[in-house]
Structure 1
């Protein structure tokens, strides 16, 4: 994992950040645009981490969907990697205008890439392409809905995703990836673990953004797997929600409250070698899936 905060020559990086920030502020002044708190906008301006994200995957001749491109700081770096197509999904009409103007002025050069901008809410965006990657710098307050959207709701699901998110949310997701740890699971970590293997590829300090958020950030890489495809998604999501109705209560009590027969639950728990006093947060993804198959 890369940590920008521990990079040598931090003073030089700080000076570099200031130069980049001044350049961005010039762009904002030109278009009379400010970051909108209502949209949770924090623009990543650290050139080294932007390049790291763009170069992490082999993008040549691949289909890419960039969510939340803003003014296009990452966009050109993605284009430089010669993808087959690059589709931008941006809700803010003002940012779309900036992107279109930068393309018109030659600030963004798409070259031979099949390039498209969609001015749409990402939760209403359903990709038509079947083999693609998602790269996203998203408002932190919609991290969970966006993950659910791409992992469960779209018909054509991405092969992998790189997502910049709030560090504590990323940590919660990562804990759910380790089936040997205790007291780690949550609805979020489980619905992610059912569909993807996740690793943290970079940590990003708040000073790397304009405006600076109050929290640290992480960049996570999600890779699709099909280990639990034999369990219907609707059934899986319904049962884990029931299991966490009261996270600190016994799992059997939550499941019984959610409509499952207690005697049958005790029998299933015994068959699986599970403690009847266990709480849902203690179970990892494998244990949860084994339980759900019997319910």
Structure 2
């Protein structure tokens, strides 16, 4: 990376803008430039890529993205206090950085920049999971997502069948993308420190993605299967035609949800969609 110019320390920026982290917004700021630079490096070569960052806060990761070869950076921030901070960085690179003041959960991020697109973000922890599910619904629009989560959530995203963290989030994530943890950070890496460790997850969408209808079917099947995860599948899936679905998918009804792999859940979702065209329960 190439440093553009000396910048004011982030701690000073936070004080000047009265930008103390708010628990209600799930804010935990990354202030160490060595860490933010490493996250950008882990996101892969960014030359010619258009990057979306969600929750830039005081702009630590934004600075590292500006120092990369990214063609453009679009920062999405809901906190009005942080807008002035990012606007100062926009003044530094008005042709590459723009700020959108909005709730990212209500936006279609793929409409904000051209392809090839990536998301690189230290996500607000209180909305990280719904944000990820929303982006997976349109995974074909993204080349790669490099995202910071609480460690427990990262472990769920990357969990293997039969493990304690395996469930809906991991199945849907790995159904749509290759997922791996690439960096773990202790609480002290953040300001203020969260109560748990955090992890950066690299998510690379598969070349072929499910249709919206099939995605909804997978959501329904996994929600039902794991809603009573200690039950055998013939019992947990009873409300959506369990025996019929299991027979059509060639799956033993005495098994439990956590023992099925992604391919088996894919078969269940496709069978469910065949009998429920809307993909809804």
> Which of 64, 67, 74 is the matching residue for 2:61?
74
Whether 1:246 aligns to 2:228 is yes
Partner of 1:293: 270
Please give the per-residue CA displacement for 1:86-135, whole angstroms capped at 9, x wherever unaligned.
Answer: 1111111110112113444xxxx327x43210001111121223420001
Q: Runs of at least 4 residues of structure 1 off by over 6 A?
A: none
Partner of 2:150: 166
Partner of 2:52: 65
Partner of 1:275: 252
1:24 Cα deviation after fit: 2.9
Contact preservation (8 Å) 2:245, 2:271 = no
Partner of 1:208: 189
* Structure 1 unmatched ranges of 5 or more: 1-21
1:33 Cα deviation after fit: 2.5
Residues 115 and 261 of structure 1, relative CA distance in 2, 3 Å threshold = closer
- State the alpha-carbon separation in 2 of the partners of residues 184 and 35 from structure 1: 29
Q: TM-score, normalised by structure 1?
A: 0.81
Contact preservation (8 Å) 1:205, 1:216 = yes
Q: CA RMSD in A?
A: 2.2
Whether 1:140 aligns to 2:125 is yes
Query: Where do residues 114-129 of structure 1 align in structure 2 (5 Å cutoff)?
Result: 114-126=96-108, 127-128=110-111, 129=114
Query: Where do residues 182-221 of structure 1 align in structure 2 (5 Å cutoff)?
Result: 185-221=166-202
1:46 Cα deviation after fit: 2.5
* Structure 2 unmatched ranges of 5 or more: 1-7, 273-281
Q: TM-score, normalised by structure 2?
A: 0.85
Contact preservation (8 Å) 2:55, 2:76 = yes
Partner of 2:22: 36
- State the alpha-carbon separation in 1 of the partners of residues 116 and 215 from structure 2: 21
Residues 261 and 255 of structure 1, relative CA distance in 2, 3 Å threshold = closer
- State the alpha-carbon separation in 2 of the partners of residues 220 and 137 from structure 1: 10
Please give the per-residue CA displacement for 1:52-105, whole angstroms capped at 9, x wherever unaligned.
Answer: 11122111121110111111111121112122111111111110112113444x
- State the alpha-carbon separation in 1 of the partners of residues 74 and 19 from structure 2: 23
Residues 23 and 280 of structure 1, relative CA distance in 2, 3 Å threshold = same
Whether 1:260 aligns to 2:228 is no
1:28 Cα deviation after fit: 2.0
Residues 290 and 227 of structure 1, relative CA distance in 2, 3 Å threshold = farther
Contact preservation (8 Å) 1:65, 1:89 = yes
Count how many residue pairs are aligned between Structure 1 and Structure 2. Answer: 260
Q: Bigger radius of gyration, 1 or 2? A: 1
